[in-house]
Structure 1
Amino acid sequence: MAPAGGGRPDYDGAREEQDMTAGLVLIAAFIGLWAGLRGPPFAGFALGAAIGYLLASVIRLRRRVDALEERRPLPSTVESRAPAATPAPVATAPAPAARPRVLEPAQPGPLARLLLRIHRWFTTGNVPVKVGVILTLLGVAFLLRYAVERELIVFPIELRLLLVAAGAMLLLVTGWRLRGRMRVYALSLQGGGLGILYLTIFAALRLYQLVPASLAFVLLVALTLGSGMLAVLQDARGLAVLGAVGGFLAPVLVSTGTGNHVVLLSWYLVLNALIVGVAWYRPWRELNLIGFVSTFVIGGLWLWRNYEPGLFATTEPFVILFFLLYQASAILYAWRRPTAQGGVVDGTLVFATPVLVFATQARLLGTAEFGLAFSALAAAAFYVATAGWLRRFGPPALRLLTEAYIALAVAFATLALPLALDARWTAASWALEGAALTWIGLRQGRALARAAGALLVIAAGCALMRHGWRWDQGPPVLNGNLLGGLLVAVSGFIAARFLERASGRWAGIERWAARGMVAWSVAWWVGAVSLEIVDRLPSRHQPAALVLAWAASGLALAAIAGRSNWSAARAAALASVPLLVLAFGAQNLGGLHPFAGFGWLAWPAAIALQLVMLRGQESACPRLTALAHPIVVALGAVVLMAEVAWQVEQPVPGAVWSGAAASLVPGLLVLGLFWLKDHRAWPVAAFPEAYPVWTGLILLALQGWLVARLNLGTDGDPEPLGYLPLANPVDLASLFALLCGWHWLRASVGVRRSGCVILGGIAFVVSTVALLRATHHLGGVPWRAGPLFASVLVQAALSIWWSALAFTGMVAGTRLLRRWLWLAGAALMAVVVAKLFLVDLGNTGTVARIVSFVGVGGLLLVVGYLAPAPPRPQGNPDV
């Protein structure tokens, strides 16, 4: 009995489906027949029947899918337990009963099923009545077509529109009554009815001018309110969207071109208030976006085309109310979301609304003084108050929205200051919004939002760059030029920090992008500060201000990097070192001495700030810091050398005294480094290799360069004093340089053969040039290469001096058992002997030739007696 009892509902369901299909086919067929009265007789009938059959098929398939989903768990449970519960003999018994149910969905094709249902419809039930209804409908349709064609019955357009409206109302009523049994079908009917009513009202107004604009607007308002009520009662998002779109388009559809903006904005205010009311019950984001886009697009077009300053009083209240309504929508959207999604913020309403409202304010206020500044302060106050209220009364799920409001409050409070002094708010607001968008992308794990935020910051910088620097505009420091650039830089730093902290599949790319963003921000910071200094200060004080500003910026960035453990910012802080080098170069090319203006304060303070910055970076990035220390010390030495040279040159013109005095600076610094090393003081103790070795070598190179310029580039005239050998500025500076080099060699790398050979060679060259300079001043030989080489006095002096040096080297090599030193002296003596025969021998009949030959010969005799060659080394390379 069970099968029989269970088959009755299936039979009733099949009968219901057949009746529904046939009914829809017939209704749609006759609608198509009536619509095509002026066309071929059966074209509209066939088209309508096909549409009705397709609609019925969709509904039937939907119901079957729902039924299969409800039954699906039962067969899976039976099949999973049957093999394990009983052996094969027990399982074979129910198999024949199960197979028909599995194979039951296999049915004839669509055409065969359609013919079968038509056959059943015409062969079951009250067949005469069904056939009579069809024939009657066909006859009436033919009669109506005949009457229309021969103008026996004229359907006025008013009647046609009323019939269409009545059909739409019939669809609405039918859909409402079927909402419990066939939800999708019912909502489709209601949506179609609403759409037909919208189009009917539009046609009555615009196409046929049958109703006035005021009545059409009232009808559209009523239709919009009805759509909203139906949507909320049935939880139908599609009806709500349809009603909202129709409501926002209603003023556009009924507009005659002479409308009142107060009516337009009032209607949009009502619609947005209704959307907020719907948001209290249903968190439908689509409605919020439709209201947002429609209001700002249509309202923005009116603002752009028709707004005049005289309309401010009737427009500004609506802008404020729209702003408040959209913030309420954003709060309700986050509040009414499920707990699992409560942390999601509607970024469009939260971040785009203040930007568009601020742009609207700019259009409304025009050139009003401090108008945008007060608007920014008001927005900041609103966000602070709202964030405080949400933090106190809101659920924990609103914490992200609260933080977003705090970020916006800070952004607008920061923006208020430049707006009070300059109207450049666009780029700054874009940059701040980009930073906020990057932050929200990090909090929500959205890489696209982070990328959009970073690009927005870059776009803000490009917009500000395109706008250009307005020279001498606004008060110093507190002007749109400087503060706009600094806001772009700060926004870039914030976005870079958030990109560096991101995780996910794009984390590697975002870290590289963060480094690029840091470089971008450093460039904006340096550029804005530099241009402000050049714009506001006299040229004499500009280098000092630039130096101090760049050094202070590097220290500030290093401090921020240290507190936040930000590696990219640490590296960027070290960019202040090459910037200071460029500043000195520019100052030198400009003909200014380093301490010009306030340079006496700026340069020492800058070097001190750089050392403080490097001390804070030691543990975090030791390699870069070890590289930067020698550069900073060398820069300080060069600055001091240039200043000492300039100061000495003022009372004593010429390069001799100034160059000699300047060469003392790096030498004294080298001695100071080794004093710090002996006392284990910072910074030498922290970098025992970078300072004594490399920094000392750089300083010696600077000292050697100055001494070389003195020896080769000047004649060493110590005017206004007289010349004394060895007791003149050039010789004293050369001796001091050699002593510093010997101290560095002994204290840093140790006394080795290679170092001694290099230093000895330098001493040989320096002493030779000193001898040439003495012959110039005391012997009257011109200070030029040709006369010096041709002078007999010079050649004799060189022979005697080189022989004395060779004699000293050979004797010292013998006494110290340094064979290499004795060989060096012997080689120099051989050079002297060769020179005697090749050069001096040509100066016949001169006392100088006699002195040179006798002197060199006598020294050789003494060498032979006092300094015989030492024995060969037995393993020590330095012997």
Structure 2
Amino acid sequence: MLKGQYEIRMIWLMVLIIAGVGMWYADFQQFSYLCGLAFVISVMHYVDDLQKPADQMAIEQGISAQLTSKVPLYISSIIALVGGVGQMHWLTALGLSAWIFFFLRWLKRLERHLLAIQRQMQQHPIAAVDTEKKHSFVQEPNVMLTTSDVTPTTTASEISLNEQLKLWLFQGNPVLKVAIAVLVVGVVLLLRFATEHWQLSLAFKLIVVAVISLAIVIFGYVMQHKNRGFALALEGLGLATLFLTLFFAYYNQVIPNLFIASGCFIAILVPTIWLSLKQQSIELALMAMLIAYVAPFTLPVRNATATEFIAYYLLINLAVVVLSTLRPWKALNQIAFLTTVFVGGSYAFYYGDELEKFVLSGLVFAHTAVFIWLSFRFSQLLAKSDLTRFQLKPIMDIALIFGAPIAGYIFLYLMYFDQNIYQASFSCAFAMVYLGLYQLSKRNQAVAMISQSYFSLMLIFMALIPPILLAEQWSVAGWAIEGAFIFIYALYRQSTISRYVGMGLLLMAGLSGGYYFTVLNVFPSNVYWVLCISYFAMVIISNSIPQFQQQLTNSTIAFQCMQMLSATVMLFILLLEQMGGQSQVMMCLLVVTVFYNLSNEWLLRCNATWSWLLPKWIGLIPVYCLALYMVIDLSHNGMMVWHHLSDRILFALSGVLLTLLWLRPLLGVKAEREWVSLGVFVSLALTSLTLVPSMPYLSAVILPLLFGAWCYKQAEHSDWPIFWQTRNTLALMLMWIISSQILSSHAFEMYFLPIVNPFDMVSLAMLMSFIWMLNLQMKAGLDKSMGAILMVLGLLWLSSYVVLRALHVYFATPYNEWQMWGNATIQLSFTLLWVSLAFITMSVATKRKLRALWVLGASILVLVTLKLVLFDLSQIGTLTRVISFFGAGFIMLMIAYIAPMPETQSNSIDQN
């Protein structure tokens, strides 16, 4: 198992512990009990995952696999949960004690099993080595690149940012690097303490720190021939301290003005650059630059203005320009760009003032020019080093080619958001700059590829101008139409860059539309119709042609999923506005569903596959949200109250069409059966709610039961039973089994006789479906112990409620009240019912020699025995107590005589 999976499991267990303890002290004990149940089941599942590979290795070594039944563990967990919910602490303690005992016994058996495997492997070392290699390959298929895989000829220009950071942080002498980090923090704390508390002159204190720092730099430079790593660390520490000292001096007004401070800063940057270049050390440059970027946040006195902060970052980036002009250090460029955009941009956005707008605009242009030069210069240096390899590999990181100008333009666009002329002028200026760069670079064969990037950027900025010049909210329509057109044209021309340009324009259209709707509270329906149609058209057209489908990458499909989600929401809002509000919700629901079905049929004719299915499924989320909202809105006193017959018919038609959307095509059933089955059963349940509105719990499962009966009759090689092998189906079934019996307020309608009434018949049909589904799931990999426990509990739960309703009708006993646990008639009936079910189950198991089925019956007897001890012995009357014990004991005697445990173990319950 991969290390990340272990970490995720430990995090999950810690979350359960924290949530359980927190809810306990917040007086939500029931939630704490559920967390405890989830904890013990998770632990059992994790240990089971450890046992499976051990059993596989044992079989390969000729040792029989370990057989451990987890039924006692599940029963103990349920006993503890029941005791906790019922406030019977002694029962909780009993369940926990039993669970701990059986769990420790399981671990002990697993330990012995592993020792046996180890002894067998020591006796046959060759086979053991082969088995170990095999399992290590199976469990760790992904090999991570480490710095040892980097050849000595690998340069900083060929190492990605992630690899460079790993190399710098985790290789070499980690103790030394941790020590340097601790010392830097100590310097910051020392400077802050000196600023606030020391009685000496602040100027004198800072001069002392600066002199010591300079001495450390000199000492490190002298030691470079003896121990290069240690020397570079000392130099980095000294330079970092000099940067920090300068900042404390300026912001405490020891240095009176910005010009003197800038001169001192340049005086520190120059030796930093010289030392980095002379010693060929990107580590020294990274250390110094990172400290320089972080330095403003260490100040104890005041925050820098946005102009000061961005200007300061410009000085650092100029130092990066000098370094990268002479050395192709890609990681340094990337860190500079990311820090400037995210840290500098966030700071300017938070602290910026309207009065600083013009100065900040100039600084944004300056930063953009810096990174444009960095990208161009890096490509030149890389091309000179190896022209052939340069042409075969990507020439630049996309962040430096496209990210820098686009990020700069976005900042300017937001600063002049309501001034279209300025925005168009910026677009034109950027386009002219890249046109000039394209003309200069296209003649140089070494940078021919980057010249095409410049040409693409020029087209991008030219494409921004027309939508910007449109009046007010009509720019949203301009972005949408242009984006959809460019995206489809890019698919036709097979241009990756243009495809991303179209996606960017469509994203811009969506964000602008959201701004007008949420912030300005403006809803121009014509504009939103254009945006909605553009989103739908882009997805449908791109999936209609096989040549287009082949170009849809994972990121493109993910973007289209978000488009379908947004377009569906807009379509609902627009239809509601067009049709007259809430009274036409059902018609809007049907229209949207019909549109999806028509689109689905068309795209299936065009052989669309996953590139259409995922956006379709995501786009259906608002449809189901609206349908569920309508169900809740129409529910009154436990009934569905339809205002008009037409609404009921429209809702049923929508549910049928939604079911067809999930069933066509069926190729998604095997690969994504969890979500397909969830969509099918939710759609069937929504449709089925229209059949018997007075009994919604009964009505909701009629069509799913008919669908289950139809799947049961299909051949085994068909795909239809797969719907019932999913965890979602199991969860939905359990929700109905529990909630219907407790919450249904119309379970006694048309009650004629026990079982001969609608609710009992549907409940028993659900029980049969539940048992059949669990058999399928155990064949598909569900833990057999958990499947057996669920079968027993489902059988007892539903059959007990059938008896409980009969007793309520004929003997007026409590129903769904706590008093029923002290009612003698109910407890006697439960005892006789459960022990009879155990007798029938164990008799059938003995005749058919089904050992696992016999164990199920025995589990029911265990529960009967617990009930006799916990309830019948102390909480019911004398006569009924006697009858309970005599009846249970007599039937147990019959079981012992007629249905002993089968001797063979060849068959199991899933073969029944």
Q: Do the two structures share a fold, i.e. TM-score over 0.5? A: no
- Shorter-chain TM-score: which interval? 0.3 to 0.5
Normalising to structure 2: TM-score of the pair? 0.40
Name which one, 1 or 2, has greater alpha-carbon Rg.
1
Normalising to structure 1: TM-score of the pair? 0.41
